[in-house]
Amino acid sequence: MNAVLWGVLPYVMVVVLVAGSIWRYRYDKFGWTTRSSQLYESRLLRIGSPLFHFGILVVIVGHVGGLVIPESWTEAAGVSEGIYHVNALVFGGIAGACTLAGIAILIYRRRRTGPVFMATTANDKAMYVVLVAAIALGLWTTLVSVGAGSEAHDYRESVSPWFRSLFVLQPDVDSMAAAPVEFHVHTLVGMLLFAIWPFTRLVHAFTAPVHYLFRPYIVYRSRDAVPPAPGWTRSRR
């Protein structure tokens, strides 16, 4: 059971995520958009959306820090486990709470603003369930850790080694299996979120326009931007 959950599922998730994204990009570039509803309503959006998005960006940075950087490195840098943990709980907790508050505002807005609700698809609703579950469960692990005080489970000795082991294709199933149940549930829902990611509106995150900072302001494109196929390719008809 553990081998399936922590040894097989992560790879299934990665395959679905990568293959799904490639498929979506090739076959549905037109559908690859934020589907912004700001035209319908912007008062609540202007509070909820930045709260959610900036919150989740901090959460992502926190996850990368906690999962990728080994405990021995931070300790070598002079940050003790206790200090790290308190920091992670405080900043992670604040960011997570902002994210949850943001998405709560956004969902309230989506439900109560007629045109926005009309523009909400079944796909969106399913995605919101998974997304909110992942965020809420993540906050739950934080709350459990806070409640346990100094006896809190150190996920950097269980979840993180497992996460890193996935990349060298030798999943450390046992150390993940040793983590408490709240981490298990959060991880599973997180994997589900990444698996459905390419098939929802969340894909817009993959085309975050960072290159905007570097491109020239004026874009010229020729009508012949698409090079003609060479003459020796096989005719399709």
Partner 1 sequence: MRVMAQMAMVMNLDKCIGCHTCSVTCKQAWTNRAGTEYVWFNNVETRPGQGYPRRYEDQDHWKGGWTLNKRGKLELRTGSRARRLLGIFASPVQPELADYYEPWTYDYRTLTEAPLGDDFPVARPKSLITGEDTKVTWSANWDDNLGGTSELGHLDPIVEKVRRESEEKIRFEFERTFMFYLPRICEHCLNPSCMASCPSGAIYKRSEDGIVLVDQDRCRGWRQCVTGCPYKKIYFNHRSGKAEKCTFCYPRVEVGLPTVCSETCVGRLRYLGLFLYDADAVTAAASTPDPQDLYEAQLGLMLDPSDPAVVAAARAGGIPDDWIDAARRSPVYALAKTYRVALPLHPEYRTMPMVWYVPPLSPVVDLLSSQGHDAEDRATLFGAIDALRIPVEYLAELFTAGRTATVTAVLRKLAAMRAYMRDVTLGRDPDPSIPASVGMTEESLYAMYRLMAIAKYDERYVIPTAHAEQAHDLEELGCSLDVEDGPGMYESGPFGEASGRPVPVAVETFQALKQRQTTDTPPGDLSGRVNLLNWDGNGRPEGLFPPRKDGAS
> Which of 37, 74, 130, 142 is in the footprint of partner 1 by CB under 8 A?
37
Choose among 86, 63, 205: nearest CA to 138: 63
> Which of 122, 229, 232, 235 is in the footprint of partner 1 by CB under 8 A?
229
Q: How far is residue 20's CA from residue 196's CA, in Å, rounded to a whole number?
A: 9
211 is in an annotated binding site: no
> Which of 35, 111, 112, 125 is in the footprint of partner 1 by CB under 8 A?
35
Q: How far is the CB of 45 from partner 1 (least distance, A)?
A: 5
Q: How far is residue 183's CA from residue 181's CA, in Å, rounded to a whole number?
A: 5
Under the binding rule (CB under 8 A), the answer on residue 223 touching partner 1 is: yes
Under the binding rule (CB under 8 A), the answer on residue 123 touching partner 1 is: no
Q: How far is the CB of 102 from partner 1 (least distance, A)?
A: 9
At 118, which helix (H) or strand (E)? helix 114-118
Q: How far is residue 142's CA from residue 96's CA, in Å, rounded to a whole number?
A: 9
Q: How far is the CB of 78 from partner 1 (least distance, A)?
A: 32
Question: Quick count: other Cβ atoms within 10 Å of Cβ 56?
Answer: 20
Pair of tokens at residue 56: 């989740």
The answer to whether residues 198 and 16 touch, using CB atoms and an 8 Å cutoff, is yes
Under the binding rule (CB under 8 A), the answer on residue 121 touching partner 1 is: no
Under the binding rule (CB under 8 A), the answer on residue 34 touching partner 1 is: yes
Under the binding rule (CB under 8 A), the answer on residue 151 touching partner 1 is: no
Under the binding rule (CB under 8 A), the answer on residue 98 touching partner 1 is: no
The amino acid sitting at 70 is P
> Which of 76, 149, 235, 237 is in the footprint of partner 1 by CB under 8 A?
237
Closer CB to partner 1, residue 27 or residue 167?
27
Question: Quick count: other Cβ atoms within 10 Å of Cβ 72?
Answer: 9
The answer to whether residues 5 and 179 touch, using CB atoms and an 8 Å cutoff, is no
CA distances, 108 to each of 45, 46, 95, 217 (Å): 10, 13, 20, 38
53 is in an annotated binding site: yes
Under the binding rule (CB under 8 A), the answer on residue 128 touching partner 1 is: no
The answer to whether residues 17 and 205 touch, using CB atoms and an 8 Å cutoff, is no
Under the binding rule (CB under 8 A), the answer on residue 181 touching partner 1 is: no
Under the binding rule (CB under 8 A), the answer on residue 235 touching partner 1 is: no
> Which of 72, 213, 232, 235 is in the footprint of partner 1 by CB under 8 A?
213
The answer to whether residues 203 and 197 touch, using CB atoms and an 8 Å cutoff, is yes
Output the known binding site for heme b.
53, 63, 186, 204
Residues of this chain that bind partner 1 (CB under 8 A): 27, 29-30, 32-42, 45-46, 49-50, 52-54, 114-115, 118-119, 204, 207, 209, 211-213, 215, 217-229, 233, 236-237
